[in-house]
Amino acid sequence: MTIPLVVGVDGSEASLEAVDWAADEAVRHGVPLHLLHAAPRDHEVSDVIGHASERAVKGAPTVRLSSEVLHDDAASALVDKGRNAFALVLGSRGLGDLAGMLLGSVSLAVAARSDCPVVVVRGAAEHRNDRFESVVVGVEEGEGSGTAVQFALREAQVRRCRLVAVHAWSTPLGALTPAQAPSWYALEAHRRSPAQVLDDALRTPEEQYHDAQVSRRVIEGPARQALLEAASEADLLVVGARRRQGHLGLQLGLTNHALLHHAPCPIAVVPRI
């Protein structure tokens, strides 16, 4: 049986926008869509699921749909469902969040604890409706960006759009001072160039998705700024996250935290294998 794409719903407009996005995503990938509403046992359950189901079918009539209501806190229920899910999809803010919050507490908790990719649906309608025909993925130094690149290439393929791979790098502070230049240059001689980092990260996934349109961007500067600028003309931003050593969940890091709060388009956080 095909594992489902799971979307959390609470009746808020943000969660209904997540339902719209998730219904289209499920159809694109040919997977079922599962709507999940979590509420405390003493909480009166309204027709949140019914309303969300109608919205999903209206936007994507061919979607294979199921739903359930669980009496549990929302973050725990979603993380548990995510252990057997294609991905978890969430709105950027829920009904219980304070006015002015950039990212809801449930969405942040799930992104930090999930075992599967988590998509937080953010941005204006033009960013949620595939207007830009572009998926952006952040590529870091090291070997940890493989799963994020794989996820992003698959998204670009099913959307029939281009992938923009971004690697941001910075010269170490003080690296160019006369006193430290020799040791820094010796270190750099054994490191890959920024362009090589991108090429290495894309080589194996590109062999699998050989018909993908991929462009590379090497940018000197903070990763947060580089990715936010690239995402301003994207339908989806994809980033990787390391798993915590000895603990459940992910190390989101400062850059991913900033992107989850400020990304102008939907953002997918993909656990590294």
Q: Does 125 score more than 70 pLDDT?
A: yes
Using CA atoms, how far apart are residues 19 and 235, in angstroms rounded to an integer?
16
Band the pLDDT of 104: cuts 50, 70, 90. confident
Using CA atoms, how far apart are residues 145 and 167, in angstroms rounded to an integer?
10
CA angle 12, 18, 24 (to 5 degrees): 145
The answer for residues whose C-beta is within 8 angstroms of residue 27's C-beta and 6 or more apart is 60, 62, 63
Task: Show the tokens assigned to 79.
Answer: 């993380």
**pLDDT single digits (tens) 47-88:** 899 999 999 999 999 999 999 999 888 899 999 999 999 999
Q: Does 189 score more than 50 pLDDT?
A: no
**pLDDT single digits (tens) 215-264:** 999 999 999 999 999 999 999 999 998 876 655 566 788 899 999 999 99
Q: Where are the alpha helices (DSSP H) in the chain?
A: 13-29, 48-59, 74-81, 105-113, 125-128, 146-159, 181-188, 194-208, 223-231, 253-262
Q: Does 173 score more than 60 pLDDT?
A: no
For the chain, what percent of residues have pLDDT higher than 70?
Answer: 83
Task: Show the tokens assigned to 103.
Answer: 């990212």
Q: Does 130 score more than 70 pLDDT?
A: yes
Residue 38 · residue 70 · CB < 8 Å:
yes
Summarize the confidence of residues 25-34 as an average pLDDT: 97
Task: Show the tokens assigned to 93.
Answer: 């803010």
Residue 237 · residue 268 · CB < 8 Å:
yes
CA angle 266, 268, 273 (to 5 degrees): 175
Band the pLDDT of 186: cuts 50, 70, 90. very low
Q: What is the pLDDT of residue 123?
A: 93
Average pLDDT in the chain: 86
Phi, psi of 65 (to 5 degrees): -115, 140
Helix axes 194-208, 146-159, angle to 10 degrees: 50
For the chain, what percent of residues have pLDDT higher than 90?
Answer: 60
Q: HSE on the CB side for 121, CA within 13 Å?
A: 28
